[in-house]
């Protein structure tokens, strides 16, 4: 069967070559060491054949030396396997590092249009790294840049249940986006000293496999990170992964559902982080233990979220400047030490912190707001609160001449489409949320209505303590809104302990609509309490300064009542405000005592009463 005279050596080499080519067809190529020398430039095209077994760039170590540039681009249709742009994989005892040195650039830009995969397969990964050695890392040196764009453009299908975050429905938008694509599938540690830019239809950065040892994502001093993802910005949802934002770093992390998911995150002094999503910082579900969020004094966190700025996390300790706007700024957050609800650590919000939203179901948290902080709430505060700053009932725009952008507006400014729990980017933004039966984000609250803030919804039977430490409580009062309400109000449930001292500040609106019959119920406490062995109400003993208020000449003052097991503080009509009362010479006035008239009010409330000669006052 072989040609006559063919040597055995040649036959052996041909067989060896055949076996090699056959193994490549079955298992793909083997990773090689790839190094771009100083100033060198290379380009690779990603094609339909570049799947997990045969990535476009397949390396044991991938090193870009100073000033080098590597570009990996592709636009692929009809995909039936996961496309991978770059795969850096440790082989045996060698490799596992992706290093971009000073001034070097790695650019990955890959799109897939249509694909046919099993429901739980990911169609596209821009970059994947993997090593069992914890010392291996994806490293971006100072002055270096990694840019990854991974877009999966296959059209989404409409939801059936109009629920964008169901854990049971595999066809809802959340799960469709979950299997959409990954910018960086991280199977090593990450160290960013330079610039990191990631844009992904699905997840920005995700752990490739559950690590067996400690791994870290470190955003170092001087680093600048921008992550935009349709579902999750950074998914570090394992106890072995630690996310660290170092002093002098800036990170912007955006995801449709979550900005950052982490079990162990540290925000060091001098770090700045901006997060956006349905949830800014959070977890998939509330556990109360296991995860550790640590905020160091001098860190700065800015969050624009739809449902909650901080969600379902345990805060180990800390102090930070927090600027947050969401339906809830805290939701299912706790500060329990080792899971002990009788031992709560304190999260201190530093001077300059501004919270726009409610605090929901966070009874096991303790929050201290320093002097110079503000919280604007419209519905509820369910937490142990030590308030040294200011509480405003209602939206910020109702008190300050400011147009505060909400989550939806900020996303649209980036030329994306914001849903309640997903962001549509790339070609997906051509689909309307309405056609997908998707929920839309919350809009800004109306400023022409009054609000009631409830401290601790008693239906959950949880107890909280509230301390007003020389704080100010801001309420709007005046003419009735569309619901008939005439003022903002604070309600304290039966399970709320109230201490401290403070001051109520009134902001008048629609003054011309106020009459003497208007009653402003501003504070209300539910349920008699046993206070130091005596039955009573905390509001009754609270040294709260409540000033009189004038609407034109109508003066209103404080009135307290005990009604049906409640202690109610109201503002009621006191009298007419006048500088003085003058009955001029020869003038005659009649006061009818059978009627409550402004003449009597004017006399009784006047600072000075003058009745000149030959004048007459008839009673």
pLDDT at 290 (0 to 100): 57
Residues near 415 by beta carbon (within 8 Å), at least 6 away in sequence: 429
Q: How far is CA 238 from CA 260, 264, 312, 347, in A?
A: 12, 8, 15, 24
H helix or E strand, kind and range, residue 24: helix 8-27
Average pLDDT over residues 220-224: 99
Longest dimension (CA), the chain: 150
Per DSSP bridges, beta strands 616-618 and 588-590 are parallel
Portion of the chain with pLDDT greater than 90, in percent: 77
Residue 191 has pLDDT above 80, yes or no: yes
Whole-angstrom distance, CA of residue 574 vs CA of residue 559: 10
Does the structure show a pLDDT above 50 at 305?
Answer: yes
pLDDT value at 165 more than 60: no
Measure CA 183 to chain center: 22
Per-residue model confidence (pLDDT) at position 285: 75
In degrees, to the nearest 5, what angle opens at C-alpha 193 toward C-alphas 188 and 197?
A: 75
Structural contact between residues 186 and 129, judged by C-beta atoms closer than 8 angstroms: yes
Q: Which of 467, 450, 321 is nearest to 383 (CA)?
A: 467
CA atoms within 13 Å, Cβ hemisphere of 186? 31
pLDDT for 288 equals: 58
3-state DSSP assignment of residue 161: coil
Question: Does the pLDDT at position 171 exceed 50?
Answer: yes
Q: What is the pLDDT of residues 17-66, one digit of tens each?
A: 554 444 444 345 688 999 999 999 999 999 999 999 999 999 999 999 99
Spatial contact of 330 and 383, defined as CB atoms under 8 Å apart: yes
- Whether 605 has a pLDDT exceeding 90, the answer reads no
Report in angstroms the alpha-carbon separations of 312 from 331, 364, 452: 6, 12, 25
Q: What value does the mean pLDDT take over residues 154-178?
A: 74
State residue 168's pLDDT score. 53
Domain extent listing, the chain: 1-30, 32-282+405-446, 305-400, 452-576, 581-618
Please tell me the predicted confidence (pLDDT) of residue 615: 76
Range list of β-strands (E), 220-339: 224-229, 232-236, 241-245, 250-255, 258-262, 264-267, 272-282, 292-311, 315-331, 336-337
Q: Which element (helix H / strand E) includes 408?
A: helix 407-413
**Number of Cβ atoms within 10 Å of the Cβ of 297:** 13
Residue 195: name the closest of 232, 230, 216, 220 by CA.
220
Mean pLDDT of 362-366: 96
Token couple for 115 = 């694909």
**Mind listing the pLDDT tens digit for each residue in 508-535?**
999 999 999 999 999 999 999 999 999 9
- Is the pLDDT at 295 greater than 60? The verdict is yes
Q: Which of 44, 90, 42 is nearest to 67 (CA)?
A: 42
Query: Which pLDDT band, with edges at 50, 70 and 90, does 7 fall under?
Result: low
Calpha distance 608→509 (Å, rounded): 30
Average pLDDT, the chain: 90
pLDDT at 93: 87
Residue 587: the pLDDT is: 72
Residues 384-426 pLDDT 10s: 999 999 999 999 999 999 988 899 999 999 999 999 999 999 9
Copy the structure tokens of residue 241. 């992964």
Averaged pLDDT, 552-571: 95
Q: For 550-561, what is the HEC assignment? A: EECCEEEEEEEE
Q: Which residue has the higher pLDDT, 611 or 300?
A: 300
Residue 463 near residue 497 (C-beta atoms within 8 A) = yes
Contact (Cβ atoms closer than 8 angstroms) between residue 526 and residue 492: yes
Q: How far apart, in Å, are the Cα atoms of 197 and each of 57, 184, 204, 232, 472? A: 19, 11, 9, 15, 43
Tell me the pLDDT tens digit for each residue of 108-122.
999 999 999 877 789
| Spatial separation of the C-alpha atoms in residues 312 and 281, rounded to whole Å | 9
Q: Is the pLDDT assigned to residue 594 strictly greater than 60?
A: no
Would you say residue 607 has pLDDT above 70? no
Q: Both tokens of residue 546?
A: 């409540």
DSSP states of 217-248: EEE-TT-EEEEEESSEEEEE-STTEEEEE-TT
- Residue 19's CB is within 10 A of a number of other CB atoms, namely 10
Taking CA 416 as the corner, what is the angle to CA 411 and CA 422, rounded to the nearest 5 degrees? 80
């Amino acid at each position: 069967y072989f040609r006559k005279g063919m040597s055995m050596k040649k036959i052996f080499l041909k067989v060896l070559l055949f076996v090699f080519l056959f193994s490549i067809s079955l298992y793909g190529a083997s990773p090689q060491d790839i190094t771009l020398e100083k100033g060198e430039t290379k380009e690779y095209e990603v094609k339909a054949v570049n799947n997990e077994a045969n990535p476009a760039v397949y390396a044991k170590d991938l090193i870009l030396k100073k000033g080098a540039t590597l570009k990996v681009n592709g636009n692929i249709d009809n995909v039936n396997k996961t496309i991978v742009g770059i795969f850096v994989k440790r082989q045996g005892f060698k490799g596992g590092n992706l290093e971009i040195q000073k001034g070097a650039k790695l650019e990955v830009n890959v799109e897939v249009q249509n694909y046919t995969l099993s429901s739980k397969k990911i169609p596209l990964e821009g970059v994947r790294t993997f090593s069992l050695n914890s010392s291996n890392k994806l490293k971006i040196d100072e002055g270096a840049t990694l840019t990854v764009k991974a877009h999966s453009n296959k059209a989404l299908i409409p939801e059936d249940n109009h629920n964008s975050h169901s854990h049971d429905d595999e066809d809802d938008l959340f799960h469709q986006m979950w299997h959409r694509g990954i910018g960086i599938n991280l199977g090593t540690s990450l160290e960013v000293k330079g610039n990191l830019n990631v844009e992904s239809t699905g997840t920005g950065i995700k752990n490739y496999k559950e690590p067996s040892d400690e791994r870290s994502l470190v955003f170092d001093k001087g680093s600048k990170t921008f992550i935009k993802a349709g579902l999750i910005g950074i998914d570090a949802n394992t106890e072995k992964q630690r996310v660290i934002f170092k002093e002098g770093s800036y990170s912007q992390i955006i995801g449709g559902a979550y900005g950052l998911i982490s079990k162990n995150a540290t925000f060091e002094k001098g770090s700045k982080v901006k997060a956006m999503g349905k949830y800014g910082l959070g977890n998939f579900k509330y556990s109360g233990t296991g995860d550790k969020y640590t905020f160091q004094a001098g860190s700065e966190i800015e969050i624009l979220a739809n449902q909650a700025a901080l969600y379902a996390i345990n805060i180990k300790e800390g102090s930070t400047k927090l600027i947050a706007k969401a339906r809830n700024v805290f939701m299912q957050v706790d500060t329990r030490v080792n899971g002990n609800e009788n031992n709560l650590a304190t999260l201190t919000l530093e001077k300059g912190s501004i919270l726009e939203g409610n605090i929901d179901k966070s009874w096991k948290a303790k929050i201290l707001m320093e002097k110079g902080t503000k919280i604007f709430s419209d519905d509820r505060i369910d937490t142990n609160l030590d308030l040294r700053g200011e509480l405003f009932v209602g939206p910020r725009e109702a008190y300050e001449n400011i147009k505060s952008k909400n989550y939806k507006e900020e996303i649209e400014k980036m030329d994306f489409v914001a849903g309640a729990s997903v962001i549509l980017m790339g070609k997906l933004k051509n689909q309307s949320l309405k056609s997908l039966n998707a929920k839309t984000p919350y809009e800004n609250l109306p400023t022409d209505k009054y609000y009631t803030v409830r401290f601790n919804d008693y239906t959950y039977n949880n107890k909280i303590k509230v301390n007003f430490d020389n704080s100010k409580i801001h309420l709007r009062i005046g003419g009735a809104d569309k619901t008939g309400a005439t003022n903002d109000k604070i309600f304290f449930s039966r399970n709320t302990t109230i201490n401290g001292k403070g001051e109520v500040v009134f902001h008048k609106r629609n003054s011309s609509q106020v009459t003497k019959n208007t009653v402003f119920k501003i504070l209300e406490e539910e349920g008699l309490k046993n206070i130091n062995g005596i039955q009573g109400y905390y509001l009754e003993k609270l040294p709260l300064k409540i000033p009189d208020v004038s609407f034109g000449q109508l003066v209103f003052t404080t009135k307290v009542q005990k009604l049906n097991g409640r202690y109610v503080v109201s503002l009621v009509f006191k009298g007419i405000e006048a500088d003085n009362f003058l009955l001029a010479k020869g003038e005659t006035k009649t006061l009818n005592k059978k009627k409550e008239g402004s003449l009597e009010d004017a006399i009784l409330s006047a600072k000075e009463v003058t009745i000149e000669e030959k004048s007459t006052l008839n009673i």
